[in-house]
Structure 1
C-alpha cells in the first residue's frame, strides 16, 4: 500500500479557550507545539514526511526515518509536529532556532545535526491505519485509535497530551509557554478530518509592546513599504532588531513611504542609506536589505512570544505612540515567562 499525504487540517485564531458546550459534540484541547507540521506516512516499506506547505521533509530528518519503522506498530498515516528540544535535563524547552537549522542543503550537515540536535515527532491525529482510511471518522474516534496505536510507543515519537477540561487547557496556556510551546489547540470531537480547512481553534498569547521603527523593506511589487522593521534597546543602549510588521493594505503601503520619508537616513551625497537585514535559511537569495530610518518614531505592536531576544512571529501594528521616547522602548517592558520543563509536557 502507499499513502497519499493530504494537506493538513488547519486552525483559526480565537482570543480565549472556547467553551465546549457551544460546539456540537464537544471539544478536545491539546498543547500547541512550536515546530514543523509533519504528516508521516509509513507504508511498511518506506517513510515519507510531508509538510504544511507540501514541501517534503523526509531528507532533513534521517533519525526519524530510521526510528519510525522500528517503533511504529504497523503501517499508518500520522499527523503531528516535528520539534527539537535543547537544554539540560530538568530544564529542557523547544528550540525553534535549532529546528530551523535542520533545513540545510548539505547532506553532511543534515547528518551531523541529526546526531547533535535530534528531532522528536509529537503525534496528534491518525488518518489511516493499515488499509483503513480514518479521515471520515469523527476526531474523537480517531483520537481513541491513536491512543491504542501509540500506547507503548517509544521516543522519538510521543503522543500529545489532551484534555476535555477547558480550565486545564487554560492552565496549559499559561504554564507550557515556559517550555517553548506557543498556545493551545481546541478540536471539535465530532468532526471528520478536513484537509486545508481552518476547522480547529488555536489560542495563543496576546501581548503588546512599544518598539522603535528602525527601517523598512520595499514591498515585493517594488513600490511601498512591505514590512516595517522594529527594535528594542538593551540595557547598554544598543538598539536590536527584534522583528517586523507587515500586512499593510496597498494604499497604506504607499502612505507609509511618505510618512517615513523625513526619517530616512542619507549619506553625505544625499543617497538613501540601506542596511543589511538578517538572513535566515528560508530566505534563499531574497533581498533582505532595508531602508534605514533614524530611530525616532515609536509604535505599539501586538506579539505572542519571544524566541531568544526576537519576536517569534511577525507582529501586528496597533498604533503610533508619539507620546513615547524611543529610548524608553527596552526589553524590560516584555513579560517574563517562568521556565517549565518540556519533559513534564511530554509526560
Structure 2
C-alpha cells in the first residue's frame, strides 16, 4: 500500500523544500510491448519535471530532485491558473525556438542571474507537456491505475485552454506509436509504454521505452590521445558550408583491443587539414591551458555513428561507432542528415489529442493526423543565446570547499558541461550526467584534471 503523500497536507504557506516523490522511470527495450493492456506516449526530449502545488506555493522538481521553479517563472505562473489547490503532476519542460524545440535554449535558462531568467522567460518562454497526475486536492492517485490517473489529467487539462500547458498524446495502438516516430523524422526521442493498470511506482523502472536509432555518416577530421598516447576519441565532422568541415562531435567508446587497431587505421591518414570550419575549442578564461590540440587527419575516413540528439548543430552526447563507410564519399557527409527537435506546431497539434475510455475499460485515443513538416536549422542560435558569464569557471569560490559554494547547488553551467565533456573524452571516461550541480561538476573537473596531469 502506497503511503499518503506529504503534498496532501493542508499547509499552503510554507515553501516547498523537498521533492515529494522520486519520478517513475522506464526500462530500455528493443521493441514496443504488444497489446492488450499497454498504452503508448511520445518520449519528449526536454527536462523531466515533477510539478507540486500546495495552495500558493508551487515548485518544479527536476529528475534529480533539484528545484527548477525559479528558472521557469512563466511555467509556475501557468500552473497557478489551475483551479486545484493541491497538485502533483509529472511532465516535461520544453522551449520552442523559431521553428523547432531547442534544447540549447532550455539549457540557457539554468542561469544564476534573476534578471537574465526574467528576460529569457519573456523572449523564449517554456512550455510544459503533462503525462501523469499523481494527485489532486485531497486525492493521492499514485496507487490508482494509469487509466484513472490519465482520465484525471485529461479532465484537469480540459479546463485550462492554454497553449503553454500541453497534454501529451497517448494511444493503445502500437502502429500509431510507430507512425509518430516515422512521421517525426526521428525528432522524437522515442516512445514510452505503460500498462493501463500500472500504479505510479516512484524510482522504479516500471515503464518501457524504445528509443530512436539515429545514424549519421561523418568524416573523421582528427583524433585525440589519452595520457598514455593511445587513441582516446575520434573527432567527427560534417560539411555544413560547402568546402568547410565543421566539428559536430566525437566517439570514444572503444575497447582496449579496438584502440590498437584504431591507432593503425588513423595513422595512415595523418597530415590533413583537419577541421576547416568549426574546430575543437581553444583556451577560455577559466581554462587557459586548454590548447584544443588534436591530430588532424585528411578528409578520407568516413564513419557511420549512432547518436541521440542534436543541439546547436552538434551531437549533444558522445556517439557510438557503428561501422566504417569506405563506400561513402566524404563530400556526401553533410549537415542535412541531422534530425532537429520536433516543432511547436506539431507539439500543439499532438497536445489537442484526447483520451477516452472505451467499452472494455481500456484507454483509447481519438487522434488527428500527426503531420511531418520540414525542419530548419538554427546555426546561429547558440551565439545569440551566449552569455560571457557562462564561460567563467566557478573558481570564484576557490577559497571554499565546492560543497559550500553560495551557488553550489545550482545546476552546472553550460561552460562546465562543455569542459567536462572534453575532459571525459580525453580521459576515455563516460560522459557526465546532465543533472550535476556546480559543486559536483567542479569536483569532477578537478578529479579529471588530476588524472590527466593538468594540476
Q: For 2:260 and 2:64, how far apart are their aligned partners in 1?
A: 30
What is the rounded CA distance, in whole Å, between the counterparts of 2:292 and 2:160 in structure 1? 47
**Contact residue 5 and residue 50 of structure 1 kept, 8 A:** no
Aligned to 2:294: 291
Report SS of the residue matched to 1:71. coil
Are 1:319 and 2:360 matched, yes or no?
no
Stretches of structure 2 lacking an aligned partner (at least 5 in a row):
1-8, 10-15, 273-278, 353-455
Q: Is the 8 A contact 1:177 1:183 kept in 2?
A: no
Asked if the contact 1:12/1:199 (under 8 Å) is kept, the reply is yes
The yes-or-no answer on 1:204 pairing with 2:219 is no
Q: CA deviation at 1:253?
A: 5.7
Distance 2:271 2:83 in 1: 58
- Cross-structure match for 1:192: 199
* Further displaced range: 132-141 or 158-167: 132-141
Q: Is the 8 A contact 2:42 2:170 kept in 1?
A: yes
Deviation (angstroms), 1:77 = 0.9
Contact 1:30 1:161 in 2 (8 A): yes
Q: Which residue of 2 aligns with 1:6?
A: 21
1:277 equivalent to 2:281? Answer: yes
How far off its partner does 1:288 sit?
9.5
User: RCO (CA 8 Å, sep 6+): is it higher in 1 or 2?
Assistant: 1
Provide closer, same or farther for how the CA distance between residues 331 and 63 of structure 1 changes in structure 2, counting only shifts above 3 A. Answer: closer
Higher mean alpha-carbon deviation, 226-235 vs 102-111, is at 226-235
Which residue does the alignment assign to 1:270? none
In the alignment, does 2:185 pair up with 1:170?
no
Kindly indicate whether the alpha-carbon contact (under 8 Å) linking 1:104 and 1:110 is maintained by their aligned counterparts in 2. Answer: yes
The change in CA–CA distance for 1:59 and 1:217 in structure 2 (over 3 A counts) is farther
Post-superposition Cα deviations, 1:254-312, rounded to whole Å, max 9, x if no partner, equal: 7756764665669xxxxxxxx64399xxxx97979452431443222123554563345
User: Number of paired residues?
Assistant: 326
Moved more, 141-150 or 34-43: 141-150
Equivalent residue number for residue 35 of structure 1? 46
CA distance in 2, matches of 1:56, 1:223: 42
Is 2:84–2:137's contact at 8 Å kept on the other side of the alignment? no
Residue 57 of structure 2 is aligned to residue 46 of structure 1: yes
The 2-side partners of 1:337 and 1:74 are apart by: 34
Secondary structure of the 1:202 match is strand
Equivalent position to 2:140, from 133, 146, 171 = 133
Evaluate the alpha carbon distance shift between residue 203 and residue 258 of structure 1 in structure 2; reply closer, same or farther with a 3 A threshold: same
Cα displacement (A) at 1:54: 2.6
Query: After the TM superposition, which of the residue ranges 298-307 and 77-86 deviates more from structure 2?
Result: 298-307
C-alpha separation in 1, matches of 2:55 and 2:200: 23
Question: What does 1:213-232 align with in structure 2 at a 5 Å threshold?
Answer: 213-216=220-223, 227-232=233-238
| Alignment CA distance shift 1:167-1:276 (3 Å) | closer
* Structure 1 unmatched ranges of 5 or more: 267-274
2:346 is equivalent to residue 341 of structure 1: yes
Does the residue aligned with 1:150 lie in a helix, a strand or coil? helix
CA distance in 1, matches of 2:291, 2:192: 33
Q: Distance in 2 between matches of 1:222 and 1:110?
A: 43
Q: How far apart in 2 are the matches of 1:328 and 1:177?
A: 20
* Aligned partner of residue 137 in structure 1, secondary structure: coil
Structure-2 change in CA distance of 1:32 and 1:288 (3 Å): farther
Cα–Cα, structure 1 residues 308 and 18, in superposed 2: closer, same or farther, change >3 Å?
A: farther
Q: Which has the higher strand share?
A: 1
Q: Distance in 2 between matches of 1:322 and 1:5?
A: 54
Cα deviation for residue 162 of structure 1 reads 1.1
> 2:310–2:338: 8 Å Cα contact kept in structure 1?
no
Relative to structure 1, is the Cα distance of residues 336 and 81 closer, same or farther in structure 2, using a 3 angstrom cutoff? closer
- Whole-Å separation in 2 of the counterparts to 1:226 and 1:56: 36
Q: Judge which range, 67-76 or 78-87, deviates more.
A: 67-76
Structure 2 partner of 1:182: 189
The alignment's TM-score, normalised by the length of structure 1, stands at: 0.79
State which of 310, 313, 338 in structure 2 corresponds to 1:309. 313
